[in-house]
Amino acid sequence: MTARGLSLMSGGLDSQLAVKVLQLAGAEVEGVCFSTPFFDCTSARKAATALGIKLHVIDFTDDEIKLIENPPHGFGGAMNPCIDCHATMIKRAGELMAKLGYDFVATGEVMGQRPMSQNKQALGVVEKSSGMKGRLVRPLSAKLLEPTIPELEGRLDREQFLDISGRSRERQIKLAEELGVKDYPSPAGGCKLTEDGFSRKLRDLMEHEGLGNRELVDLLLTARRFRLPGGTSVILGRDRNDNALLKTKAHLGTLLSPVNCPGPTALIPARLESIPPADLLLAQRLVAAYSRGDRLPGDIELNLGAVPGPYDRTLFKDFQIC
Ligand code: SF4
The residue whose CA is least distant from atom 2 of ligand 1 is: 191
**Rounded Cα distance, 111 and 48, in Å:** 24
Cα–Cα nearest to 60, from 82, 37, 94: 37
Helical packing angle, 61-69 and 82-100, nearest 10°: 150
Q: How far apart are CA 266 and CA 216, in angstroms?
A: 13
pLDDT level of residue 91 (50, 70, 90 thresholds): very high
Domain boundaries for CATH 3.40.50.620 within the chain: 4-191
Q: How confident is the model at residue 115 (pLDDT cuts 50, 70, 90)?
A: confident
Residue 141 pLDDT class (50, 70, 90 cuts): very high
Phi, psi angles (nearest 5°) of residue 157: -85, 100
Q: What is the mean pLDDT of residues 309-320?
A: 92
> Measured from the CA of 39, which atom of ligand 1 is nearest?
3
For atom 3 of ligand 1, which residue has the closest CA? 191
Which pLDDT tens digit goes with each residue over 203-239? 999 999 999 999 999 999 999 999 999 999 999 999 9
- What CATH architecture does domain 4-191 belong to? 3-Layer(aba) Sandwich (3.40)
| Percent of residues in the chain assigned helix, strand, coil, to nearest 5 | 45, 15, 40
Residue 302: its pLDDT value, please? 97
pTM: 0.91
CB-defined site of ligand 1, < 6 Å: 39, 80-82, 85-86, 191, 193-194
**Average pLDDT, integer, range 16-38:** 98
Element (H, E) at 18: helix 13-24
Distance between CA 109 and CA 203 in Å, rounded? 28
Tens of pLDDT, residue by residue over 166-196, are: 999 999 999 999 999 999 988 766 899 999 9
Instruction: pLDDT band for 241, please (50, 70, 90 cuts).
Output: very high
Atom of ligand 1 nearest to the CA of 191: 2
State the distance from the centre of ligand 1 to the C-alpha of 86, rounded, in angstroms. 7
